[in-house]
Amino acid sequence: MNSIISAHNLSKWYGEVIGLNSFELPISPGITGIVGPNGAGKTTFFKLVMGLLKPSKGRISVFGERSWKNPQLHAKMGFCPDYDNLPNDVTGKDFLRLIGALYGIDRNHVDKRITEVARIVGMENALGRNIGGYSKGMRQRVKVAASMLHDPELLILDEPLAGTDPLVRGDLIALIKSLHGEHGHHIVVSSHILQEIERITQEVALIYKGRAVAFGNISEIRDLIDKHPHHILIKGDRVRTLAKRLLDQPYTVSVTLMEEGEGCIVEVREPNAFFEFLPSLVTELACNINEMYSLDAGLEAVFEYLVEGK
Q: β-strand 252-257 against 203-208: which pairing, if any?
A: unpaired
Please tell me the distance from the alpha carbon of residue 242 to that of residue 64, in angstroms, as a whole number: 58
Q: What is the pLDDT of residue 310?
A: 52
Could you give the C-alpha distances from 306 to 37, 215, 229, in angstroms and in order? Answer: 14, 11, 11
Please tell me the distance from the alpha carbon of residue 201 to that of residue 54, in angstroms, as a whole number: 29
Q: DSSP letter for 124, please.
A: G
Q: What is the pLDDT of residue 53?
A: 96
* CATH ID of 5-225, from 3.40.50.300, 3.30.70.100, 3.10.450.50, 3.40.50.620: 3.40.50.300
pTM of the model: 0.80
Q: What is the pLDDT of residue 202?
A: 93
Please tell me the distance from the alpha carbon of residue 32 to that of residue 270, in angstroms, as a whole number: 28
| CATH class of the domain comprising 228-309 | alpha beta
Query: Amino acid letter at 290?
Result: N
Q: What is the pLDDT of residue 155?
A: 98
Q: What is the pLDDT of residue 274?
A: 86
Per the CB < 8 A criterion, the answer to whether 19 and 189 are in contact is: no
Mapped onto helix, strand or coil, the DSSP state of residue 157 is strand
Strand partners, 157: 80, 189
Q: What is the pLDDT of residue 125?
A: 96
Domains of the chain, residue spans = 5-225, 228-309
Q: Is the dihedral of CA 117, 121, 124, 126 positive or negative?
A: negative
pLDDT along the chain (310 residues), means of 10: 91 94 96 92 96 97 96 96 95 98 93 97 97 96 97 97 89 96 96 90 94 89 74 90 92 87 86 86 92 72 64
Q: What is the pLDDT of residue 147?
A: 97
- Tell me whether the CATH fold assigned to 5-225 matches the one assigned to 228-309: no
Strand partners, 268: 230, 252
Please tell me the distance from the alpha carbon of residue 228 to that of residue 271, in angstroms, as a whole number: 8
Which residues, including other chains, have CB under 8 Å from residue 80's CB and lie 6 or more apart? Answer: 143, 144, 146, 147, 155, 156, 157, 158, 160
Q: What is the pLDDT of residue 149?
A: 97
Q: What is the pLDDT of residue 144?
A: 97
Could you give the C-alpha distances from 283 to 86, 182, 264, 279, in angstroms and in order? Answer: 59, 53, 18, 6
Per the CB < 8 A criterion, the answer to whether 110 and 97 are in contact is: yes
